[in-house]
Copies of this chain bind each other. A is one copy, B any other.
């Protein structure tokens, strides 16, 4: 049997069953401390990033791959944009755990005919992300390849809960050891609210513009391109979320509905969102007024964060982070893994989770494992 026949979920299961120890749960208040014994790996396959103990400290780690003609087209990106995006999506995964990115490693595969200036520009893009987020590019490996191939691996620090913030529960649980908090996909509970950072749909609108023959002139076109090719990971918002006590979240890479569905499935809950509350991108609305809600719900590559938790904690994060945080719905026991989109009257709207079909045929992202 071929990979193309078994479907996405089955391949994930082949991997997950063998690689992930699974079953790690935080203590009360969502705090992790190093166990006296047991494996150093805390979280394996299944969240935005892995997490492991380096002595008494908790690190997060993620890796992403971008393949020419699968995730991008050479004609559509500058070297600088490709470098930015490749590293930014890994930074977003660390942000989605509430972590701080520290060290990156890069695998670069290049056809011999690649222009040297393109490669130099690619490094400029990588370095711009590194500078922006205070991380170091520590090393890598460069090889020949039939198409441009990038893999970025990023190691970060989990958020360490300050002693004066952790309160009596933490003190009792941690007995003086450093305590850490992560945003997990699996920690949503009925009664929690669902929020997102920023606005959604601009990246997909930018991709749609690039793939179509109809370019959009002026600043709008420039900003849509930037939204798709130079996403801005929400590291600060992720840190605010864990500092504010949230323990559930992820980033939006494949679209709000798909990703929120993953979070709901990992938590064994149902998510309900109100379409009218979704912060649709002003740019997507200006460029594609008829499709902008769909772009926001199912377009993908937003690299905004989904944050889930008690309304009071989410309000606290809303007040502290520098990016907008919008409550768009809530978590219910319901049907595990379901995401229901409700209209203004509370009736369910049918929206294809996978985005709409006219995108499918041309979609850059083509990941057999998700």
Interface residues of A (CB under 8 A from B): 1-6, 11-12, 14-15, 18-19, 21, 39-41, 44-45, 49-50, 52, 54-55, 57, 59, 61-65, 67, 69-71, 102-103, 105-117, 119-120, 123, 127, 136-147, 149, 151, 153, 155, 157, 366-369
Contacts and interface: CB of A to CB of B under 8 A. Distances in A.
Contacts of A110: 3, 368
Contacts of A50: 103, 105, 138-139
A102 B40 contact: yes
Contacts of A3: 110-116, 119
Given A4-B113, A69-B146, A146-B69, A140 B55 contact: no
Given A2-B112, A19-B138, 6 more contacts: A11-B116, A19-B139, A54-B157, A61-B103, A63-B107, A155-B155
Nearest to A45: B139
A2 B367 CA distance: 30
A109 to B, nearest CB: 6
Contact of A63 (B54, B109, B140): B140
Nearest to A54: B54
Given A116-B1, A142-B15, A63 B106 contact: yes
Contacts of A15: 123, 140, 142
7 contacts: A2-B116, A3-B113, A3-B115, A52-B138, A67-B109, A67-B146, A69-B146
Contacts of A140: 15, 19, 45, 63
B147 A41 contact: no
Contact of A119 (B11, B102, B111): B11
Question: Which residue among A147, A151, A366 has the maximum number of chain B CB atoms within 10 Å of its CB?
Answer: A151
Contacts of A141: 63-65, 151, 369
Given A14-B120, A18-B127, A153-B153, A139 B368 contact: no
A298 B3 CA distance: 38
A44 B137 contact: yes
A16 to B, nearest CB: 10
A230 to B, nearest CB: 19
Contacts of A102: 40, 52
A18 B123 contact: yes
Nearest to A117: B1
Given A1-B115, A50-B105, A119-B3, A139 B44 contact: yes
Question: Which residue among A62, A65, A115 has the maximum number of chain B CB atoms within 10 Å of its CB?
Answer: A65
A11 to B, nearest CB: 6
Nearest to A52: B103
